Amino acid sequence: MPWLWGVSLAVLLPAVAWALFLSPADWQQGETVRIMYVHVPMAWLAMSGYAGLAVASVLALVWKHPLADLAARELSPVGAMVTALCLATGSLWGQPMWGTWWAWDARMTSVLVLFFLWVGHAAITRAFEDEERGARMGAILALVGVVNLPIVKFSVDWWNTLHQPASVARLAAPGMHISMLGPLLACAAGFSLLFGTLVLARVRAAVMERRVQALELARAREADRIPPATVPA
Amino acid sequence: MSAHWIHVVAAWGLVVAGFGGLTLGAALRHRVAARRLRELERSPRRVA
C-alpha cells in the first residue's frame, strides 16, 4: 500500500503545481479558472465511481461475491465526498463567473441527485443489523440510480442550462487549449489514483476489522464452551 | 489576495480537507484493527 500512495502523490503533486502555478490564467475568467482543475476531476470521479459502484452491486447481487459487497460499502462515502466537492467547487467557481452560488438547472440538479444517491447508499448499507440485507438493499438502490448517469452527462445537451456544455469529452476536438488541457488531464489522473488508493485503503481496513470480529467471536464462543477451571476443595 | 484567488484557495482547500480527512480516517481504522488483531493473536487460546 505505501507504494500506491507514493505513486498517487508522485502523479498528483506535479499536476497540482502545473495547475496552480504554471498554467496560464484565462483571458476572461482570470485566476478563477484554476478551480476547473479540481472541479472537473471531482465530477468525472463522481460519475465513474458511481459506475464502479453499479458494477460492484451487480457482482454482489448476481455472483454474491463478498468482496464486492465490502467494496461497494467502502466506496460510497468516498463517492459522496467527491460529489460534494464537485458541488462545492462548482459553487465557488459559479459565484464569481455567473453571479450566483447555485441555480436549479439540469446539470447541477442531476449532480445533487447523484450526491443523494451516494449518501443514500452509504446510509442504507449501514442501516440494517443484518449486513447482508443492507448490502442487498444498497445494491438495488445503486442499480436504480444508474439511470441518473446519462441524465448528468447529457443534461447540458438536452436542456438549456446555465452550466456550459462538454469541453473535453466530445466528438469534435476538445474545446480547450493544450496549456489548460494538459494540467487538467494530469490532475484527473492524480486524483483518480488517489481515489482508487483511498478506496483500497478503506477496503483493507474493513477486511482487517472483519478478521478482528471473527476472531473475537471465535474466542467468545470458545470461552462459553469451556467451563471455568474448578478450584480444588 | 484578489477575490478570485480566495475562491481558488477555498476550492483547493476543501479538496485537500476532504481527501486528507478520509485518508486519516482510513489510516486510523487500519491502525486500530491491526493493533487489536495483534493482541488477539498474542493472547493464549484456551484449550479444553
pLDDT tens-digit series, residues A177-219: 888 999 999 999 999 999 999 999 999 999 999 999 888 888 8
Could you tell me the domains of chain A? 14-165+175-225 (1.20.120)
Write the residue in A32, A42, A226 that is nearest to B46 by C-beta: A226
Q: pLDDT (tens digit, 9 = 90+) per residue, A90-146?
A: 999 999 998 999 999 999 999 999 999 999 999 999 998 888 899 999 999 999 999
Rounded to 5 degrees, φ, ψ at A154 are -100, 5
Amino acid at A152: V
If you measure CA to CA, which chain B residue comes closest to A94?
A: B7
The grid coordinates of residue B40 equal 488477539
A161 or B19, which is more confident: B19
Question: B5-27, pLDDT tens digit by residue?
Answer: 899 999 999 999 999 999 999 99
Q: What is the rounded CA–CA span in Å between residue A135 and residue A118? A: 14
Confidence of residue A78 (pLDDT cuts 50, 70, 90): very high
Q: What are phi and psi of A27, to 5 degrees?
A: -65, -25
pLDDT tens track for A41-77: 999 999 999 999 999 999 999 998 888 999 999 999 9
Using 50, 70 and 90 to split pLDDT, how confident is the model at B48? Answer: very low
pLDDT over 70 at B2, yes or no: yes
Chain A: nearest CA to B19, how far in angstroms? 8
Residue B1 contacts A, CB cutoff 8 Å: no
Please tell me the distance from the alpha carbon of residue B30 to that of residue A203, in angstroms, as a whole number: 10
Backbone dihedral region of A101: left (phi > 0), alpha (psi from -120 to 50 degrees) or beta?
A: alpha
| Cα–Cα distances in angstroms (integers) from residue A25 to residues A36, A177, B4, B5, in the given order | 11, 12, 11, 11
Per-residue pLDDT band at A176 (split at 50, 70, 90):
confident
Instruction: Identify residues of A whose CB sits under 8 angstroms from chain B CBs.
Output: 20, 30-32, 34-35, 38-39, 42, 77-78, 81-82, 84-85, 88-89, 92-93, 95-96, 194, 198, 201-202, 204-206, 208-209, 211-212, 215-216, 219, 222-223, 225-226
**% of chain B at pLDDT higher than 90:** 65
pLDDT of residue A170: 61
CB contact under 8 A, A215 and B37: yes
What pLDDT band is residue B45 in, cutting at 50, 70 and 90?
A: low
Per-position b or e across A98-108, b if 16+ CB within 10 A of its CB: eeeeeeeebbb
pTM here is 0.89
ipTM value > 0.95 = no
d(CA A205, CA A222): 26
